[in-house]
Amino acid sequence: MQNVGEQGHMALLGHSLSAYISVLDRERLRKLTIRILSDTTLWLCRLFSYENGSAYFHEDDRDGLVKVCRLVINARYEEYSSEGYAVLSSKQPVIYQSASGRPGLGQHLCSQVGGVIQAPVCQNGM
């Protein structure tokens, strides 16, 4: 067999792993997925020196930012978990977005983070 090099080896390994995963039954696939998630989370926590971190995987590239915004709102508004959006009525959060940000990102964040937050609260930063 020819020497395929490191990139070829990684491609072959990736395709082999994909083929193996495609034939797993549901329970084994669930176990493998949980193992990959836990190992990846542990690796990232060690890499960035976090003791109790967690990884979050998403398909839409905006969902990571939505998750971070929700975490910040929960941290800044202590009663948010018990009282919900009513807590935001007295002092609404403001989301600043860079002018170079993805078009529509501010509106997406506002709609996902707090359905009752009005569009004027979302502002573009300079």
pLDDT digit string (tens) for 41-93?
Answer: 999 999 999 888 888 778 888 888 888 888 888 888 888 888 877 787 777 77
Element (H, E) at 46: helix 26-47
Number of domains in the chain: 2
Whether residues 71 and 111 fall in one domain: yes
Q: Which domain holds residue 43?
A: 1-48
Summarize the confidence of residues 92-119 as an average pLDDT: 75
What's the CA gap between 83 and 105, in Å, rounded? 27
Residue in 120, 98, 88, 125 with CA at minimum distance from that of residue 107? 120
Q: Is residue 108 part of a domain?
A: yes
Size of the chain, expressed as the number of residues it contains: 126
Phi and psi at 124, nearest 5°, equal: -85, 130
Whether residues 2 and 39 fall in one domain: yes
List strand residue ranges (DSSP E) for the chain, in order.
95-97, 122-124
Whether residues 79 and 109 fall in one domain: yes
Q: Is residue 66 part of a domain?
A: yes
Q: Contact at 8 Å (CB) between 105 and 79? A: no
Whether residues 44 and 65 fall in one domain: no
Average pLDDT, the chain: 82
Residue in 83, 79, 78, 87 with CA at minimum distance from that of residue 117? 87
Confidence of residue 115 (pLDDT cuts 50, 70, 90): low
Residue in 56, 52, 33, 28 with CA at minimum distance from that of residue 42? 52
Q: Is residue 15 part of a domain?
A: yes
Whether residues 21 and 43 fall in one domain: yes
pLDDT value at residue 120 = 42
**Burial class of 67 by CB neighbour count within 10 A (0 to 12, 13 to 18, 19+):** middle
Q: Is residue 113 part of a domain?
A: yes
Whether residues 73 and 42 fall in one domain: no
- Which residues neighbour 38 within 8 Å (Cβ) at sequence distance 6 or greater? none
